[in-house]
Amino acid sequence: MNNRFFALVKDHLFQNFVLVTAFIAFSFPSGNYHVFSGLPFQHSHEYTWFVIFLPFIFSRRVRRMYQVVLVQRNGKVGRIVFGVSTLALTLKIVVFAFGVNDGFQACYRSLPESLPNEQCERSYENFLFQENITRFDKQLNFTSNRRGITTSVANIREGYIENWHLSFFNSGRFNYSPDIEGNIWRQRLPFSANWSGEIVVQDEQILQLSYTGEGEISLDNKVFIMSPSYAEEIIIEMPVDRGIHYLQVEYIFDDGYRIGDSVVPGPYAHFVVQDSDDVSLQAAPVNLFWHIVGWLVD
């Protein structure tokens, strides 16, 4: 009787342990280059599976059905699920430990409300603050059609489109009153962005950079100065040879515009690098070994 009871308890604990292991393996973060990359979720597949997991947490009936499945064939199904989950979790830990991600390392900073010790702004995309950066940007293509208007800035309901995704500015540090002249206009927050990473160029060509703002861009040992330009876009041509190159960008946008200024400000931040086929410049992809690891996890 006691042996039977302890066996049931042991099976019950193992079944719950399998469920917990599978959920941890699913949600544990790894790299952003494969589908089931864990937190933060980036793909619809991940959200779908997360919703599938929820009934196991809130429904006893579903958990009992799940336990029946695991004990089939003398518990072989349960051991397979546990083995697969453990392998996936181990691989994700390895990817996470080596910091393997796809994209340029991007560090965004606020100019008027900078964090102590020149820290980068934090973001949900990199909520564990890997590499001490804000996030990984897969391509350098940031545009905006925002413009300013001279009168009654506080009452403007200006339509605009931009893809900078500066969600980290949704903080109380940036709640400037729109009714006080001389304040920063929240729609034109000054900021800096630094990008670094490798690029792969298939053929000798000329990269084209268009921007509003200022800064400099380094391509291996060549440095291209982005002279201050806030009224219109500037285009810089950068010749590059075939092969792998290291790219580093220091970009600043601060046109000095403040609420109440009589001068009409120009376009908002714009920074785009394209190749000779007008394709946005992307960071070098992760190598084949890590792609295989990500495929195994998926």
User: What are the domain boundaries of the chain?
Assistant: 2-100, 104-274
Place 42 in a pLDDT band, splitting at 50, 70 and 90.
confident
Share of the chain above pLDDT 90, in %: 40
For residue 108, the model assigns a pLDDT of 96
The fold of the 104-274 domain, in CATH, is Jelly Rolls (2.60.120)
What would the mean pLDDT of 2-21 be, rounded to a whole number? Answer: 60
* Torsion (CA) 255, 269, 272, 291 in degrees, nearest 10: 130
Cite the beta strand spans of the chain per DSSP E: 104-110, 135-137, 141-142, 191-201, 205-219, 222-240, 243-253, 270-274
pLDDT for 156: 46
Query: What is the spatial distance between Cα 156 and Cα 66, in angstroms, rounded to a whole number?
Result: 56
DSSP β-ladder status, 205-219 and 135-137: unpaired
What is the structure's pLDDT at 155?
43
Average pLDDT for residues 157-164, to the nearest whole number? 64
Q: Is the pLDDT of residue 173 over 90?
A: no
Structure confidence at residue 154 (pLDDT):
42
Q: Is the pLDDT of residue 96 over 80?
A: yes
Q: Given this model, what pLDDT does residue 50 score?
A: 79
Compute the average pLDDT of residues 40-65: 76
pLDDT band at 7, cuts 50/70/90? very low
Q: What is the mean pLDDT of residues 43-61?
A: 76
Residue 15 near residue 67, CB atoms below 8 Å: yes
Determine how many CB atoms are found less than 10 A away from the CB of residue 209.
19
Residue range 8-30: mean pLDDT, rounded: 74
Report the amino acid identity of residue 261: D
Q: Indicate the range of 182-191, 208-217, 276-285 predicted with least confidence.
A: 182-191
pLDDT value, residue 11? 55
Average model confidence (pLDDT) across the chain: 83
pLDDT for 227: 96
Q: Report CA-CA distances (Å) from 64 to 16, 258, 290.
A: 11, 63, 38
DSSP3 helix / strand / coil % (the chain, rounded to 5): 35, 25, 35
The answer to whether residues 128 and 259 touch, using CB atoms and an 8 Å cutoff, is: no
Task: Kindly give the interhelix angle for 44-58 and 60-70, rounded to the nearest 10 degrees.
Answer: 100
- pTM (2 decimals)? 0.82
Q: How far is CA 26 from CA 63, 166, 243, 280, in A?
A: 18, 28, 37, 32
